[in-house]
A and B are shown apart, each in its own frame.
Chain A
Amino acid sequence: TQLLEQSPQFLSIQEGENLTVYCNSSSVFSSLQWYRQEPGEGPVLLVTVVTGGEVKKLKRLTFQFGDARKDSSLHITAAQPGDTGLYLCAGSNTGKLIFGQGTTLQVKP
């Protein structure tokens, strides 16, 4: 069974702080995706990483895929209240997505 472990599960920080969310697995994935989900909405794709060691930047968000394609991280610089939400990593080999349990981020103004 493929599992993705996300940490931390909850994070409450002040505006302007930096944070990192981790996503780890014992399985290799052909691609890994990061989603953000707002209350009452479905997950929205932020980024897809496919190459071991790959780093992608999306404004203040930096995503990294581990060399062995088993783990990933999401780093947010200078967090803002608008970053508040549930962040999900999801791995895929055959199309269906295997999600981590999510990280609930609260950024206080």
Chain B
Amino acid sequence: GAGVSQSPRYKVAKRGQDVALRCDPISGHVSLFWYQQALGQGPEFLTYFQNEAQLDKSGLPSDRFFAERPEGSVSTLKIQRTQQEDSAVYLCASSLMRPTSGAQETQYFGPGTRLLVL
């Protein structure tokens, strides 16, 4: 079946421009995560949705970052007034169930959107 898809795959933005990154999770997956990955580094957690509810946004680096999942399926990560330090790969992951303490539901990652801010 289809995996997690993200679009666009590449985005070049001028500093100050707003961008929107889309994630299509695996159909039926309840949980959706966004991560930011700098070049040569491991991904860092940004935010988490359970269905349409944003339950954790502790990793969003500033109020310029905003994420939504209005119908509990597709999610959009929006970055306003982009800065050069926002340049990174933005990864989306989905899992079937909601997380439970002591168990780890497998997260399936999309290919990421590579954002370059000039």
Contact = CB atoms under 8 A, between A and B. Distances in A.
Contact of A102 (B41, B101, B105, B110): B41
Contacts of B35: 97, 99
B31 A95 contact: yes
B81 to A, nearest CB: 26
B40 A95 contact: no
B109 A43 contact: yes
Given A30-B104, A42-B109, A42-B110, A95 B43 contact: no
Interface string B42-65: 111100100000001001000000
A72 to B, nearest CB: 13
B45 to A, nearest CB: 5
Contacts of A43: 43, 91, 109
B98 A95 contact: yes
A95 B48 contact: yes
Interface string A67-81: 000000000000000
Interface residues of A, number: 27
A30 B103 contact: yes
Interface in A69-109: 88, 90, 92-102, 104
A86 to B, nearest CB: 8
Contacts of B107: 45, 97
Interface of A: 4, 6, 30-31, 33, 40-45, 48, 50, 88, 90, 92-102, 104
23 contacts: A4-B42, A30-B101, A30-B103, A30-B104, A42-B4, A43-B91, A44-B109, A48-B106, A50-B102, A50-B104, A92-B99, A92-B104, A95-B31, A95-B99, A95-B104, A95-B105, A97-B43, A97-B107, A99-B43, A99-B44, A101-B42, A102-B42, A104-B40
